[in-house]
Structure 1
Amino acid sequence: MNWQDIFATRMDRMKASEIRELLKLLDQPDIISFAGGIPDPALFPTEAFQKALGNALSPKNQSTALQYSVSEGYGPLRDWIVGKMTEIGVPCTPENILITSGSQQALDYLGKLMLSPNDTALLGWPTYLGALGAFNAYEPNYDRLIPGGNRSAEDYAQTAKDNGGRVKFAYMSVDFANPTGETLDQTARENILDLADDLDIAVIEDAAYQALRFDGEPIPPVLALEVARKGSIDACRTLYCGSFSKSLAPGLRVGWICGAADVISRLVLMKQASDLHSSTLNQMAIAEVANTIFEDHTAKLRQTYTARRDAMLSALEAQMPDGVTWTKPEGGMFVWLTLPKHMDGGELLRQSLETQRVAFVPGQAFFADRSGKNTLRLSFSLADDAQIAEGITRLGAAIRAAL
């Protein structure tokens, strides 16, 4: 049987994640890896989760923890998220919250909700690779989102129409973005809201790294800015995607969408048809840990990751040859390198693994049009100071050999 003949056309848009493949390198002890943008497992609040899971499985709670549950999510966890969203300028109720299996599922649901084949999604250039993977299944076109740029709403709309659809949403990671580490200032966020109003489209705000600000003043989320403009979350077009993966534990796969109740109700129907509900046991554990240690634990993460970021920036300053530039993130997990124009990050990775045993992610994977060959992403979240110093020294040698 030729399975290819009966696969849906969307399968042609679904590709293996280059990052997931690179994560396999972490099992090789002689590799210094700056590839996987994943939390350091040594920092997981293991004891807190052991206690929380024990409580969830106690005779008092086990029938709730192990039974089917409501699609919207575990009530106490939604209540905690309501409190957190209110703290950052988004007053809301549990009806504005849907618990998802990580924010990756949130992106998949939002793509499914809004994209028909040939519609257009506006993205950063580069953008989060997982967002491209989630949206690709719904066969969209992509256009470059330039906050405050010289393109008008009319130009975006006409380009989308010429490509057989309409613009449906603008997607962005606004704080310490994956992959660049860059943060959109408040003016850029306001500009995106203006553009979305002019185009009458949604805004998807990916806030996976918001709790990991090391320095600089916090900037209100896009959703908070829109609530300030319009008076109520239910009048807003912004959909905020949050996650506990970077702050508490990625393996439990708990994230959320915060938005207008009318949209959340549609997403609940999608959740019912997809997986009924996210793991109740995991949600109960997250709720207890978040209620007891979230602020103290994220402060510990920020302290550790700040030191690693500083070590990487210092090493880059000392080891990179002329013609290489990089971002200086105020938080998150990533530094973005731009190589001289003639260089290819994919070829550099091959040479680096062969000669220097250093891994990173070539930047081309993060561009919807597969441009950006002369870029690469480095993550500082897993390496200690000695590994960072040695790895960046080796990487500098690999780049000089390729110049």
Structure 2
Amino acid sequence: MLNWESIFATRSSRMKASEIRELLKLLDRPDIISFAGGIPDPELFPQAEFAEAYAEIFGGPAVSAALQYSVSEGYRPLREWLAKQMTALGIPATVDNIFITSGSQQGLDYLGKLFLSPKDTALVTWPTYLGALQAFNAYEPNYDQLNPGGNRTPQAYIQAAADAGGRVKFAYLSADFANPTGETVDRAGRERVLDLAEELDIPVIEDAAYQSLRYDGEAIPPILALEIARIGDINNARTIYCGSFSKTLAPGLRVGWVCAAEPVIRKLVLMKQAADLHSSTINQMAICAVAERGFDEQVAKVHKVYKHRRNAMLAALEKYMPAGVTWTKPEGGMFVWVTLPKGTDGAELLAKSIQSAKVAFVPGRAFFADGSGENTLRLSFSCANDKMIDEGVRRLGDLIRGGMAEAA
């Protein structure tokens, strides 16, 4: 029998199973109240609109193009619509600044491949999106902590990267309602990230998967918009904006995009040609049709439901969590981040919770590049109704309270 482990590339050792993807299997268990999956509620998908869009494609002359090979950049009408959307966000873009990906996750994978050599350093927040770590891990980087509110010097980052055997290659962050914390980087923090990137002469990868999901407060310009306000031209910008339709329209069609300077887009197109040629043309056409006819209305529908559930979860946490437990109060997105007393292990708590309380969540350690954060956990409210939220948080609060009493 072939010894596969001896044949696999060294990078394969950095590929780990997603704790979240494994926990999603619990959604099929009727006895489990799940706050684990950071997934949109399928009841909110514009199903009728998509049915109409696909019917029109199959019933008209566009069906031949929909089923044929297509250009790697993506479906032009969709890129044109996205360029207008980006412009409305303060990011004047043309169709040549837009590249369609198979979900924004593919964009992160391509950017990791494009920038990272083994032992290079990626700057990420502590905690950060688990999917980004998975995408970057394959290219064998080191990680260092990006803190938009901190005062660490550029030289300190440069020296740490050199000591680890490489260079700082980019800063990655989700500035709006981040997965997993739900927190938003304020305008001053975004400006500081740009200042640091300029001093280090590195790109900024702005993961904007949740940017459309603001329920309260004033919108803050994307990092790319702030940079363009400084320099005047997207084609001179170092910020790379990664967007997605997964949280607003539907995740199953796997349509995301990258908005960036043309030299970056051209490189990504070459990578797409070598990987999967192009994203599904028919899915891009359907997304385009649905977005053109009612994107704002769909987002408003999603906002109403998720804001209500966010409020219900915050109220339940206030009602049921024991003293010593804290949590974020997000203005949008899908997540609340809970911090437990020191010494509490989120993974151990999950095992007990699944067995006794029948409540699922994601232990926080998975989101830290250094494996810390053991006393944290992520709760998602996007797919839970009022009854599930109240009952699930009550059970979880009782379990945590009991564990704290035993520890005392």
Q: Does 1:376 align with 2:390?
A: no
Letter paired with 1:76: P
SS at match of 1:81: helix
SS at match of 2:144: strand
**2:59 matched to which residue of 1?**
58
Q: Does 1:289 align with 2:300?
A: no
* Partners of 2:217 and 2:40 in 1: CA distance: 22
**1:195 matched to which residue of 2?**
196
Deviations 1:207-238 (A, max 9, x none): 00011000000000000000000000001000
Cα deviation for residue 60 of structure 1 reads 1.0
* Partners of 2:149 and 2:305 in 1: CA distance: 34
- Taking a change above 3 Å as real, the CA distance of residues 313 and 148 of structure 1, as seen in their structure-2 partners, is closer
**1:208 matched to which residue of 2?**
209
SS at match of 1:336: strand
SS at match of 1:277: coil
SS at match of 2:336: strand
Cα deviation for residue 171 of structure 1 reads 0.2
Cα deviation for residue 114 of structure 1 reads 0.2
* Partners of 2:102 and 2:184 in 1: CA distance: 26
* Partners of 1:228 and 1:378 in 2: CA distance: 36
**1:252 matched to which residue of 2?**
253
Cα deviation for residue 58 of structure 1 reads 2.0
Deviations 1:40-80 (A, max 9, x none): 00010000000011112223111010000000000110011
Q: Does 1:242 align with 2:243?
A: yes
Structure 2 gap ranges (5+): none
* Partners of 2:150 and 2:317 in 1: CA distance: 30
Cα deviation for residue 401 of structure 1 reads 1.6
Cα deviation for residue 293 of structure 1 reads 1.0
Cα deviation for residue 13 of structure 1 reads 0.3
Cα deviation for residue 148 of structure 1 reads 3.4
* Partners of 1:134 and 1:248 in 2: CA distance: 23
**1:276 matched to which residue of 2?**
277
**1:21 matched to which residue of 2?**
22
**1:36 matched to which residue of 2?**
37
Letter paired with 2:189: A
* Partners of 2:60 and 2:79 in 1: CA distance: 23
Cα deviation for residue 400 of structure 1 reads 1.0
* Partners of 2:101 and 2:386 in 1: CA distance: 35
* Partners of 2:129 and 2:308 in 1: CA distance: 24
SS at match of 2:252: helix
**2:183 matched to which residue of 1?**
182
**1:362 matched to which residue of 2?**
363
* Partners of 1:102 and 1:290 in 2: CA distance: 16
Letter paired with 1:199: L
SS at match of 1:250: coil
**2:301 matched to which residue of 1?**
300
Q: Does 1:224 align with 2:225?
A: yes
* Partners of 1:150 and 1:88 in 2: CA distance: 29
**2:262 matched to which residue of 1?**
261
Misfit runs of 4+, over 6 Å: none
CA-atom RMSD, angstroms?
A: 0.5
* Partners of 2:129 and 2:115 in 1: CA distance: 19
SS at match of 1:142: strand
* Partners of 1:204 and 1:58 in 2: CA distance: 40
**1:114 matched to which residue of 2?**
115
Q: Does 1:345 align with 2:343?
A: no
**1:322 matched to which residue of 2?**
323
Which has the larger displacement, 59-68 or 110-119? 59-68
Cα deviation for residue 150 of structure 1 reads 2.1
User: How many residues are matched?
Assistant: 403
**1:149 matched to which residue of 2?**
150
* Partners of 2:59 and 2:365 in 1: CA distance: 49
* Partners of 1:391 and 1:59 in 2: CA distance: 49
SS at match of 1:395: helix
Cα deviation for residue 308 of structure 1 reads 0.2
**1:125 matched to which residue of 2?**
126
Cα deviation for residue 147 of structure 1 reads 1.2
Letter paired with 2:63: Q
Deviations 1:64-110 (A, max 9, x none): 10000000000110011001000000001111010000000000000
Query: TM-score scaled by structure 2?
Result: 0.98
**2:73 matched to which residue of 1?**
72
**2:387 matched to which residue of 1?**
386
* Partners of 2:204 and 2:365 in 1: CA distance: 25
**1:158 matched to which residue of 2?**
159
SS at match of 2:230: helix
Deviations 1:186-206 (A, max 9, x none): 000000000000000000000
**1:171 matched to which residue of 2?**
172
Which has the larger displacement, 269-278 or 54-63? 54-63
Deviations 1:231-274 (A, max 9, x none): 00001000000000000000000000000001100110000000
SS at match of 1:252: coil
Which has the larger displacement, 178-187 or 143-152? 143-152
Deviations 1:13-56 (A, max 9, x none): 00000000000000000100000000000010000000011112
* Partners of 1:327 and 1:30 in 2: CA distance: 27
Cα deviation for residue 397 of structure 1 reads 0.9
**2:337 matched to which residue of 1?**
336
Cα deviation for residue 182 of structure 1 reads 0.1
* Partners of 1:325 and 1:308 in 2: CA distance: 19
Letter paired with 1:192: V
* Partners of 1:38 and 1:228 in 2: CA distance: 34
Letter paired with 2:108: L
